[in-house]
Amino acid sequence: MAEAARPRVPRIVVGLGNPGARYAATRHNVGFDAADCLAHRLGASWRLRNGVLDVADGRRAARPYLLLKPMTYMNRSGAPLRLAFSDLGGRLEELLVLLDDFNLDLGRLRIRPGGSEGGHNGLRSIISMLGTQQIPRLRMGVGPPPEFEPVDQFVLKRFPPADRKLADEMVERAAEAAFEWLEGADLESLMNRYNRQ
């Protein structure tokens, strides 16, 4: 078969969050929010696969893409992602994970090709299940917790009204970066553009 005729490996964007109305619009769910924003822009529809993974797919720039949202709780995000890799195909270098980060100021984005989980349970689960820290990720700053407030309580709260506009703008920028990723942009160019904002 000629090289040009072979189906190309899909680019994959994974949004992390917790399923259910209780967690909607919380700091910990900005990864879900960005994935939803991206799906809306692409005109892609979510469907539940194997009871544990929301999937949307299509083609951009003549190559297939997959949007994924694990429907397990955050600390078990890795299992459905590993299932997706074995079931739907994919390569780590074609993956981009969208997640929250309380170590970044609200509104900041930081794209990295790999590294530790940085205290994020969803990313920790993915690293454990996929067996590598070389997981490309886009971290979305939700701000540090107030003094004496436990991180796990802070990230499960919704943004106060004063912060909502900045949070929504951040989600839109993250979706824009992920869209460029699906269009074929490389990580270095995305890092140069979005990490400086």
Q: What is the pLDDT of residue 4?
A: 47
Residues in the chain, overall count: 197
Task: Report how far apart, in Å, the C-alpha atoms of 77 and of each of 59, 132, 169, 189, 197 are.
Answer: 25, 15, 25, 27, 28
- Say if CB 92 and CB 36 are below 8 A apart: no
Handedness of CA 129, 131, 133, 135 (dihedral sign): negative
pLDDT band at 1 (very low <50, low <70, confident <90, very high): very low
Tens of pLDDT along 109-130?
A: 999 999 999 999 999 999 999 9
**What is the residue extent of each domain of the chain?**
10-194
State the Cα torsion 83-115-34-185 to the nearest 10°.
Answer: -90
Q: Which residues are 56's β-sheet partners?
A: 67
The catalytic residues are 28
Percent of the chain scored above 90 by pLDDT?
Answer: 83
- pLDDT, tens digit (0-9, with 9 covering 90-100), for 68-117: 999 999 999 999 998 888 887 778 889 999 999 999 999 999 999 999 99
pLDDT at position 144 over 50: yes
Class for the domain spanning 10-194: alpha beta
Is residue 2 pLDDT above 60, yes or no? no
Say if CB 96 and CB 140 are below 8 A apart: no
Query: Residues 194, 111: contact at Cβ < 8 Å?
Result: yes
pLDDT of residue 6: 45
Are the C-beta atoms of 26 and 155 separated by less than 8 Å? Answer: yes
pLDDT at 93: 87
